[in-house]
Amino acid sequence: MTVPAAHAGRPCEQRPPATADIERGMALAQRTAQKLDERGADVVVLARAGQDLSRYGLTWSHIGLVYRDRSDAARPVWRVVHKLNLCGTDRAQVWRQGLGEFFMDQPFRYEAAFVPLTPELQQRLLPLLQDNARLAQWHTPRYSMVSYAWGQRYQQSNQWALETLAGALAEGPAAAAVSPPGRAQAQAWLQAQGYEPGVLRLGPLTRLGARVTAANVAFDDHPNAKRFTDRIETVTADSVFTWLARTGRSGPLQTVR
């Protein structure tokens, strides 16, 4: 499924891709698929560098949950499930794409990174990633690029991926009493498991300018004590990789160039 005018992890620009952009994106997709095949996992967390976030100490901008689709046994393919912002709006949707489409958004840097998940986590996630109804349990359509990591008013792309992953692990006999399972349960589990969100240092002028000029940026879900001390806590791709490694839920990070 293609995604016209929907982006995450890079500036929202309405310009058609040049032939060179398409070629570079497809080449990166091919190299990534080869690395995934070599690794042998069925579910990984995959990141791209959609925009330059080095000023915040970040390497990657956007993550998706990637699984091996074996519906055609003779030719299994890789699918990416991720959340994309509808450009120029405060709304987003969850999409299922191929690797080629994932890298077709004219990223800042044609590089990728992924971590294979533990067998237990792969087993939990694989059927979920193929079930649209279950994926919706952890999705909030209202979008802010800098949504508060522990809030539920908005939800950005990395936040959806992390909460979905957490929701899959939190499900079980103890969670059966919570109906339906959703974001609150996933966030409580993440806090109990020691997840630490990324911290962006954004001054008042930056916050004001972003809120006035962009529909997909909001700060009113952040606690005042943190927001007014320029401490914006949000889910970053880098923080997800760090947490997965620290808790032993993933293998080593692998980069693709």
pLDDT, one tens digit per residue, over 207-217 is 444 444 578 88
Looking at residue 73, what is its pLDDT? 83
- Distance, in Å, from the CA atom of 216 to the CA atom of 52, rounded to the nearest integer, reads 18
DSSP string of 133-156, one letter each residue? HHHGGG--SB--TT--TT-SS---
Angle at which helices 157-170 and 237-246 pack, to 10 degrees?
Answer: 30
The total of other beta-carbon atoms located within 10 Å of residue 38's CB is: 8
- Whole-number Å distance between alpha carbons of 227 and 200: 10
Matching residue, tokens 């032939």: 19
Categorize the per-residue pLDDT at 141 as very low, low, confident or very high, splitting at 50, 70 and 90. very high
Domain spans, the chain? 6-256
Per-residue confidence at 115, pLDDT binned at 50, 70, 90?
very high
- Position 6 pLDDT exceeds 50: no
Task: Give the angle subtended at the CA of 118 by the CAs of 117 and 124, to the nearest 5°.
Answer: 85
Alpha-carbon distances of 158 from 64, 172, 242, 253, rounded to whole Å: 8, 24, 13, 17
pLDDT at 205: 40
Q: How far apart are the first and last CA of the chain?
A: 25
pLDDT at 139: 96
Supply the mean pLDDT for the chain.
87
The total number of residues written for the chain in this structure? 257
- Do you find a cis peptide bond into 180, omega within 30 degrees of 0? yes
d(CA 117, CA 219): 32
Bridge partners of residue 112, in order along the sequence = 48, 256
3-state DSSP percent of the chain in helix, strand and coil, to 5: 40, 20, 40
Q: Residue 17's pLDDT band (boundaries 50, 70, 90)?
A: confident
Strand partners, 77: 69
The predicted model gives 56-62 an average pLDDT of: 95
Nearest to 238 by CA among 49, 82, 111, 66: 49
pLDDT at 173 over 50: no
Picking from 21, 250, 256, the residue whose alpha carbon sits closest to that of residue 116 is 250
Distance CA 104, CA 251 (A): 27
- The whole-number pLDDT of residue 215 equals 81
Average pLDDT over residues 50-55: 91
